[in-house]
Structures are given as structure tokens and as C-alpha cells.
Structure 1
Amino acid sequence: MDFTQAKYVSIIEAALGAGYRVCSIRDWYDDPVKQGRVLLVRHDVDRQPWNALEMARNEHARGVRTSYYFRSLPCSFVPEVITGIRDLGHEIGYHYEDWSLARFDKARAIEMFDTNLKRLREFAPVSSIAMHGSPLSRESNLSIWKHCDFRDWGVIDAIESLDFKGFASFTDAGRTFGQTGANLRDYLRGEDRIDDVHSSDDLAAFLRTGRYERVHIGVHPERWNDSALPWARQWAFDFAANSVKRGLKLVRKAPAQAGPG
């Protein structure tokens, strides 16, 4: 059974065994060491924040620090979890979606971003942010930066501020680490996508080979469950969501129909 907490631990242990320095987004931005192997790990806490806390504990037990990005909505924003992960030494960031929540209203989106970032900073220092994909939205949440500059809030953006050229990049967004039509917006500038990695075991094996000096992993903690019932529930949710996202991708690629006259 894939996408369990135990499988996630096997990925981290494979990286450590192969000599990778596992680090957070902000740590890499501040000190991009050019020599040696590095694994950047970004957790997008879309739902099930208690899964994120379990992951954070497993990482802490192995001496690594990664990044956890929280949405402003109740399905993600649980202060007890945020402070718990903070106290384990991990980076806390804002998983913003204000552009879509504000229905593309520039002034409202900026106001919401400011308010939500301040609220998160009540529980942890925040110096980096990462866009939430909002797959049902017709526009990317990155669109907010056409109207303001995230640097004005003293943060870096996990997508906009880093160049991932030379990185092998993987995401579990489609419940696979391989290429999938269910991945709508989880892409990074300059990244290399690998064709022969699909499962957690594949990813662990890839890391053991050391084929790439630099690797980035995007993880959604809601997807990783050891218990059968929550695992099955999430599998069903992912199956349905991925079907919708594949349909949206086809619709958005379809040519516009000509109007009358």
C-alpha cells in the first residue's frame, strides 16, 4: 500500500542514506550550497493538518527540517498543529489562495492576503509563501502578483523566488510521483520531470542512485495515512478529484468556439 506515513519515512531515509541534505525552502534560498546533494521538501497542508504534524514528527526524529505551508481555511488552519510543527523546528509558510477566494478582485485579494498572513504570523514566524493550486479556479493564484509585490511583506515565494533549473522535481499531486493529466498547476520554473518514477518506492530508489544532485519534492500530507479507513477515504477523494481535474485540463485546452455573426 503506497502513500502511507511509513512510505514517506522510507523516502526521507533513502535520501539521508544517499547523502542528501534535506532542507526547507527558506533554508535553501538563504544558503544555496552549490556542492553536495540536496533535497528540498515542501508540504502543502491543504487538508488533514494532523497528518502534517505526524510527518513533521517523523522528520524531526530523523534530524531534518522541511517547509509546511498552511491555507487560511479551517480545513488547514489549526493553531495547535501550526505551533506544534513550529516547535519541532520546521519552517511555517502561508499557502495563499486569496486571488481565487476574492474572485479576482484586486483590492479584496490584497486585503485578504495581508490579513491572512498577519493571522498566521500570530502563531509562527513566516518568511516564505507558496501558491495553492485552486484547480477549480479559472485563474492561477499567482495572478495577484501582477498587482502587488510579495516582497513588500518580507517574504519569498516558493515558486517565484527560486530557480529550479537542474532540479529533478516530483509532486504527489495526482496521487503519483509520475506525469499525470491530473496535475494542473504544480509546476516549477526550470524543473526536470523524470519519466520512470511513479510510486514512493520508485522515488526512494531514485534517491538511492544519486542520479541528480538536486531534488525537490512537493507533498500533500492529507494523502499519507497508515490506517486503512482514512487511507481508503482519501483514495476515493483523490480518484474523484483527479477525474475532475483531468476533465478541466481538457476543457481549458479546447479551442474557443466562434460566436454568432
Structure 2
Amino acid sequence: MRRLTAILAVLLAAGVMFAAPAFAQEIAPAAEDIAADAGLLDAVDEAGGLTKRIVQIFLLVTVLSLAPGIAMMVTCLPFMIIVLSILRQGVGLQQAPPNMLIVSVAIFLTYFVMEPVFKDAWASGVQPMLNGEMQEDVAFGETMKPFRTFMEARVDPGAVDILADARPLETQPAAEEGATPLSLLVPAFVLSEIQRAFEIGFVVLLPFLVIDLLVASILMAMGMMMVPPAIVSLPFKVAFFVLTNGWVAVSGALVRGYT
């Protein structure tokens, strides 16, 4: 009895194994028809589109979080901030104007200088992408063209050569023929702007240095060596700066340097 039961079980299992593929082949088309009728395939397609949108939103939020750094790298904002900060140090006032005001003035001066570049970038890349006339990768290249033109006009060729020598050419990302890759152009541009800002800052500091030297010489001649020259020279430097309308004159010179 036990043998008969075991034999029947083996035969039943073998029948199921041989019948399963055929049964699956018969069931598969029917299942696809049912899924199509129920709209499940459309739901899968919609889920794929939703996933793509989620990834796009995530990338957009990431780019927005990096917006301050991007603004510092592809605009003249570092140049403006450094020169205005050196100017404040030259006058001798540590917290007047405060850092927030210095940065705000630098941002609006940057917008004043970069407005044509922003308009060209919006018209050539961003607006066509929003209208669905251009893919994201093509729109990025078109958007960066005005910024590339701006940076190439200001970048120091020596900085480009030094950075290019620091990394083999074959490992650099591909760029258009005759164009410098962005991974090389952007840091070279930032370094060039910092170098130029310190050069302008040196020129700005010279008049205040002359005032400090004159005041120190007068104090020594009067025998007042215990009086700090910085305290005595501060009113004279502020008066000189106010009489020459220093903030407007320096800001106008900075803006004219980009025209």
C-alpha cells in the first residue's frame, strides 16, 4: 500500500512538471490581455514616467542647493566681494559696512554686469527647454555658451596652461573643437578673478597706506610714540574716502572693467 502511494505521488509530480510549461504558455497571453484590459500596462508606463520626473526634481533641487557656489564660479561675484572687502579693510573700519551689506552690494553689481549674459543664456537655452523645443543636454550646452564667452574673455591663459599641465589631456572631458572644457575653464576663470581682485585691491590700499605713513611720521616727530597711529589716521582716511565719493567711484571702476 505504501509503495502504491509513493508511485502515484511520483507519477503525479511528473505530470505536473511536464504540464506546467504548456499551462504557463496558455496562461501568459491571457494574463497579458487581462492586464491590458485592466490598464495595468499603462500604469506601469506611468510609473516609469513618474520615476523619471522624481529623478528630475531631485536633480533640480540639488542644482538649486548648489546655486550659490555656481554663481561664485561662473560670474564676477568673487571679484566684487574681494575688492569691496579689501576696500573696507583699507579704510580701517572692521564692521562698517557689515558683511551682509558688502555681499548684497557685490551681488547687485554682479547682476548689473552679468545681465546681458543672463538674458542670452535664458533665450538660447532655458526658454526653448521650457517650451519643449530642446532636450535637457542640448539646452545645457546652449545655456553655457554665453557664460563660456564671458569666462574666456576674462580668463588668464597662464592659469589655463597650469591647470591643463596638472592633468593629462586624455582624461579631460570632451569639448567642442577649439573650446576649453568647462572642468578646466571654470577653475581657471575663478583663479584669474581672484588674482585680478588682489591686484586691484593693492591699488586701492595705496592711498590709505600713504595716510597711515604720514600720520605715523607726524606722531613720531611730535614725540607721541605711545599713541597708536591707526586711531589717529582713521578719521583722516574716512574723511578722504567720503570726500572722494569712494564707494561710487570704486564701484563704477569695477563695473567699467567688464565693459
Q: TM-score, normalised by structure 1?
A: 0.20
Name the larger-Rg structure.
Answer: 2
Structure with the bigger RCO (C-alpha within 8 Å, sep 6+) is 1
Q: TM-score, normalised by structure 2?
A: 0.20
